[in-house]
């Protein structure tokens, strides 16, 4: 049962009702294009998805202790929520940022080993607030092959400079120097969660060549890859004492313009933000999964 505060019940008892509520539509709005895409991308069972030997991902030399999580996984998973707003203040350390980038990099085993194909998704990252890391536009290539394609396809005046103290094996590059909060916010449908956190990013997928080679049924699988990166980011954010939010509302054309993509070689599919959350005090917050017993 909802635990409604007594003061709120008192206020409601004496409040005047104002306005007139809308009726919810009884009509069904058809979106035929969704059925068309579902049909066109149907997986033909005679094709084996795991058709490729993937290159061994490079090992990434992270500094510091391998035990970096004082919190148990169960707690991190249960406490994960989306930030509804970012505080515009909280930063992450450079080491934390590099560690999160390493965790979303491909590697054998769990979790990215569950996808039986080489990486097709790279991250274009707007860093806003990271200690000892300037607020620039960065790129995590997530593999040598995608990096070669990105170096060909993205703007020719990008810097491709290694950030300071970047761990060996982490294909992270500074592309453009300078504060990029305004661009991040505009691209994410003007949502301030994309500019007021520590960093936000667009997940761009190697698109046309992948679909030509593997055919349309591979299209949803590109979203599987972005979704897995998002899940890892959600949990890594909680483990680092900050919070994440998936961003499905973004202007892909504006993102492509910023990167210099003018064809279908790369396509932005999902965005994400990480930072210090602010609570909306008008909403009641219950402990996560409070109706379930916690297994010891």
Interacting residue ranges for ligand FMN, rule: CB under 6 A: 81-82, 191, 193, 245-249
Query: Which residue, 126 or 173, is less far from ligand FMN as judged by CB?
Result: 126
Q: Which helix (H) or strand (E) holds 172?
A: strand 172-176
Return d(Cα 142, Cα 127) in angstroms, integer.
Answer: 18
Taking the least distance from each CB to ligand FMN, the nearer of 54 and 79 is: 79
Give min distance, CB of 237 to ligand FMN, in A. Answer: 11
Distance CA 161, CA 167 (A): 14
Minimum Å distance from CB 290 to ligand FMN?
14
Min dist CB 250 to ligand FMN, Å, is 7
How is residue 288 written in tokens? 């996560």
| Cα 126-191-138 angle, rounded to 5 deg | 5
Nearer of residues 58 and 246 to ligand FMN, judged by Cβ: 246
**Strands 130-131 and 92-93, bridge-based pairing:** parallel
> Least distance from C-beta 50 to ligand FMN, angstroms?
25
Nearer to ligand FMN, 101 or 247 (CB): 247
Which among 230, 241, 243 has a CA at the least distance from the CA of 271?
A: 230
Q: 61-77 burial string, b = 16+ CB within 10 Å, else e?
A: ebeeeeeeeeeeeeebe
State in angstroms the smallest separation of the CB of 154 from ligand FMN: 24
Nearer to ligand FMN, 62 or 193 (CB): 193
Name the token pair of 57.
Answer: 């991902």
Strand partners, 34: none
């Amino acid at each position: 049962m909802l635990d409604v505060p007594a003061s709120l019940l008192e206020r409601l008892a004496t409040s005047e009702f104002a306005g007139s509520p809308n009726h919810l539509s009884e009509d069904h709005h058809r979106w035929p294009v969704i059925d068309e895409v579902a049909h066109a991308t149907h997986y033909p069972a005679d094709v084996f998805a795991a058709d490729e030997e993937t290159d061994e991902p490079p090992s990434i030399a992270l500094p510091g202790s391998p035990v970096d999580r004082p919190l148990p996984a169960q707690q991190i998973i249960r406490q994960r929520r989306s930030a509804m707003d970012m505080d515009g203040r909280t930063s992450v350390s450079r080491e934390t940022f590099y560690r999160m980038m390493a965790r979303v990099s491909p590697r054998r085993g769990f979790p990215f080993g569950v996808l039986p194909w080489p990486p097709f998704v790279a991250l274009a990252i707007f860093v806003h607030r990271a200690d000892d890391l300037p607020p620039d536009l960065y790129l995590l290539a997530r593999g040598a092959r995608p990096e070669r394609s990105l170096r060909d396809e993205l703007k020719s005046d990008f810097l491709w400079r290694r950030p300071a103290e970047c761990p060996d094996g982490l294909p992270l590059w500074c592309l453009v120097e300078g504060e990029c909060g305004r661009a991040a916010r505009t691209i994410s449908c003007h949502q301030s969660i994309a500019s007021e956190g520590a960093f936000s990013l667009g997940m761009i997928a190697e698109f046309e060549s992948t679909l030509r080679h593997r055919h349309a049924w591979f299209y949803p699988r590109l979203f599987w890859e972005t979704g897995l990166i998002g899940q890892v980011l959600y949990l890594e954010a909680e483990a680092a004492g900050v919070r994440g939010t998936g961003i499905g509302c973004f202007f892909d054309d504006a993102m492509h313009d910023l990167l210099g993509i003018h064809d279908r070689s790369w396509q932005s599919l999902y965005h994400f933000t990480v930072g210090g959350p602010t609570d909306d005090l008008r909403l009641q917050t219950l402990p996560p999964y409070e109706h379930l017993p916690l297994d010891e």
